[in-house]
Amino acid sequence: MTEKQYVWLKEKSRRAGMTMNKYLVNRLVTWKPLFLPEKELLEWVVFTDEVGKKINNVAHSFNAKDGCAEQLQYAVKQLIQVWEKAVSANRIKEKIEHNWIRETGWEYEPGRRKRLDSPDGKYLMVRLNDEQYTLLREHMELTSFRQTLIFRKLIDGVPLEANFFRRHKRDHYTGVNMINSNIRQIARNPKALRIDEGSVKQLEFLINKIMDITNGLFRFNVIDRALGLRKS
């Protein structure tokens, strides 16, 4: 741990009336992992993959000079659904995040480090019984973090976020990137602009909104902003 983390841990354990080892073990046992709304996000990922294929077909039609206005309007409806599902999942995620903050009593304190992976500083041997060690291994599997990083996060009071991608083996950018790439192609297509420029403009507007929300959809943004890891 860093010098700052060592001082932080020493002060926290003193206030709690515990040794540093006991304080860290107590954190390990009581600190709840934080889960994204996995059901809603999985549904969104699957849906964007499906929409990506449909938009790809629309782009192919226009590249072959066979596209029509009805296809553009259909694409707009599909993107509206992608956006609405993303907004719905994001609301659920923010509710989960606020509930976790309330339940754990977590609050940001100025001076807390923004990076947790510095190798410099103090060392502390943490003694665990078999049950506690099993719990540590479960947290490592859940988050994909090394054990040293888990303890640094526990010291800093940062959530142990479950690794959505490792748990479900899904890349949330595949469908969205396919949609984005094909919408850009459609937006440059002279025929699409000629027959329904309004729908093309709608598609560009929607994909920009979708890309923006996707960047934060799989992160806990309130906590990230508090730690300085994401701009407000």
Residue with tokens 């598609």: 203
pLDDT in tens, 139-162: 888 887 888 888 877 877 777 777
58: left (phi over 0), alpha (psi -120 to 50) or beta: alpha
**Spans of all domains in the chain:** 1-30+107-158, 35-104+166-232
Residues 11-47: b if buried by 16+ CB within 10 A, e if exposed = ebbeeeeeebeebbbebbeebeebebbeebbbebbeb
pLDDT of 128 > 70? The answer is: yes
pLDDT of 112 > 50? The answer is: no
pLDDT of 116 > 60? The answer is: no
pLDDT bucket at 223, cuts 50 / 70 / 90:
low
pLDDT in tens, 47-62: 999 999 999 999 999 9
d(CA 3, CA 19): 17
pLDDT in tens, 9-36: 888 888 888 888 888 888 888 877 778 7
φ and ψ at residue 127, rounded to 5 degrees: -90, 125
φ and ψ at residue 78, rounded to 5 degrees: -65, -45
Predicted confidence at residue 169, as pLDDT, reads 64
183 secondary structure, DSSP code: H
Token duo for residue 37: 């709304």
pLDDT of 213 > 80? The answer is: yes
d(CA 207, CA 67): 19
Q: pLDDT averaged over the chain?
A: 81
Predicted confidence at residue 110, as pLDDT, reads 41
d(CA 5, CA 23): 13
Please answer whether residues 218 and 172 qualify as being in contact, where contact means their C-beta atoms are separated by less than 8 angstroms: yes
Lowest mean pLDDT among 64-68, 93-97, 143-147, 167-171: 167-171
pLDDT of 171 > 90? The answer is: no
Three-class SS state of 33: coil
Please answer whether residues 47 and 64 qualify as being in contact, where contact means their C-beta atoms are separated by less than 8 angstroms: no
Number of C-beta neighbours around residue 194 at 10 A? 10
Three-class SS state of 34: strand
Three-class SS state of 161: strand
Please answer whether residues 139 and 173 qualify as being in contact, where contact means their C-beta atoms are separated by less than 8 angstroms: no
Predicted confidence at residue 198, as pLDDT, reads 96
148 or 199: which carries more pLDDT confidence?
199
Predicted confidence at residue 166, as pLDDT, reads 67
